[in-house]
Structure 1
Amino acid sequence: MRKKKTILFLSAASLCAAGAAQAQGYGAGEESVGPYLSAGYNYMDFDEKVGGDADISAITARGGWQFARFFAIESDISFGVDDGGFDFNRNEDDLDFDDNNDDDFNDVIAGPGDLGLDYLVGGYGRFIFPVSDKVDLSARAGYAFAEIDSTVQTLGGNQLVFGGSDDGFAFGGSAAYDITENLSLRADYTHYDFSDSNAESFGLNLEVKFGG
């Protein structure tokens, strides 16, 4: 699934670049600076270090301010719209939990699990590399906070809950294609390096620019 999402992101970025090959400039070719807002859809792949690996869908809203042609700051927030299923398989001794109450911690705890994202919010510095008047590539880095919950129904009849608040550094890149002077389509990839989990996000957002 992760490979398919990477291909999806690269395909979106390639479409942006292909559009630039036939694009005409906006006069002087200098993009205006100022605020921008965007919203879109993300696939997220979460890998909890105690829980499991699950894919979820999320909606994302973003706001930013471009101070110069090559630099902007932005923040975004994502909300999960569904839970991702995963297969849980860990040793009882790893969790210090006797699932079947036999006083033996060498058994394996296994069962189906669900992972949900309550929210994920981050702030970033964004470095912009113009390819043409209509296409930008960019890299961003910052810090993000998330509320993640996963529930496992064990074979022993117990319910285990993992997750909670998590935070860590985040970084990634994007490709944006200007549909008009103030409207663009932006494909994003972001990696989140949280303390108790890691995540990758592949998103497609519609961005409105308000610079004058």
Structure 2
Amino acid sequence: MRNILLATAALTVIAAPAMAQSIPNPQWQGSIGYTQLDGSDGDLGGVTGRIGAKFNRYIGAEGEASFGVRDDDFTVAGVEGKLKHEYDAAIYGVGTLPINDNFELFGRVGYGTTKIKAEIPGVSATNDGESVNYGAGANYFFDGQNGVRGDWTRRDFRDDGGEVDTYGVSYIRRF
């Protein structure tokens, strides 16, 4: 029994460096850009920042956060109002298909939250909703670190909250 335990301990010591080598250091990247939110209630715009890690060439994760910079005006019974994008945040699992060293396609699936505010003179209402998000896009790198990103994402809000399509263009940088 003692020999089995010693053999197991020896194999563990030998195998530990091999296991450490099989878990690569993630490749980090960040982006900043503009996102257009296209919904049935209005069209809004926001500045979006992302940080992500690629665990290998094909699998990664990213988080994003946005705040509104473009409001939408509306009229109800002759009264003018504004629809504002307060913020949103989401986290995604990302699958990447490298086409060459400079160009890659990606798909992503995640979960997020969005807060929208509607205002008419004297009245203000806020609505926040949680959504299942999915989308696709492409990254093109000019060199080894700097590039552009274009993406589309559908936000499917829970509890019959509707759907919103987002379209984004960003500067992206690998670290």
Task: Indicate if the aligned counterparts of 1:175 and 1:187 stay in contact, CA closer than 8 A.
Answer: yes
Cα shift at 1:131 = 1.6
Distance in 2 (alpha carbons) for counterparts of 1:197 and 1:46: 8
Give TM-score scaled by structure 2 length: 0.77
Cα shift at 1:197 = 4.2
Q: Mapping of 1:43-82 within 5 angstroms?
A: 43-47=36-40, 53-82=41-70
Report percent identity of matched pairs: 27
- Matched positions, count: 149
Aligned match of 2:137 in 166, 174, 187? 174
Q: Larger % of strand: which? A: 2
Give TM-score scaled by structure 1 length: 0.64
Q: What is aligned with 1:142?
A: 110
Structure ID, larger Rg: 2
Q: Mapping of 1:1-212 within 5 angstroms?
A: 33-47=26-40, 53-88=41-76, 111-152=79-120, 161-195=124-158, 196-210=161-175
Write the letter of the residue equivalent to 1:142.
Answer: G
Distance in 2 (alpha carbons) for counterparts of 1:185 and 1:200: 20
Residue ranges of structure 2 left out of the alignment (5+ in a row): 1-24
- Structure with the greater relative contact order (CA < 8 A, sep ≥ 6): 1 or 2? 1
Instruction: Give the SS at the match of 2:70.
Output: coil
Instruction: Give the SS at the match of 1:81.
Output: strand
Task: Indicate if the aligned counterparts of 2:45 and 2:85 stay in contact, CA closer than 8 A.
Answer: no
Write the letter of the residue equivalent to 1:84.
Answer: D
Residue ranges of structure 1 left out of the alignment (5+ in a row): 1-31, 48-52, 89-108, 154-158
Task: Indicate if the aligned counterparts of 2:36 and 2:44 stay in contact, CA closer than 8 A.
Answer: yes
Distance in 1 (alpha carbons) for counterparts of 2:79 and 2:133: 31
Cα shift at 1:110 = 6.3
Listed one character per residue, the Cα deviations across residues 68-117 of structure 1 (whole Å, up to 9, x for unaligned) are 100110000010012112344xxxxxxxxxxxxxxxxxxxx664432111
CA RMSD between the two structures: 1.9
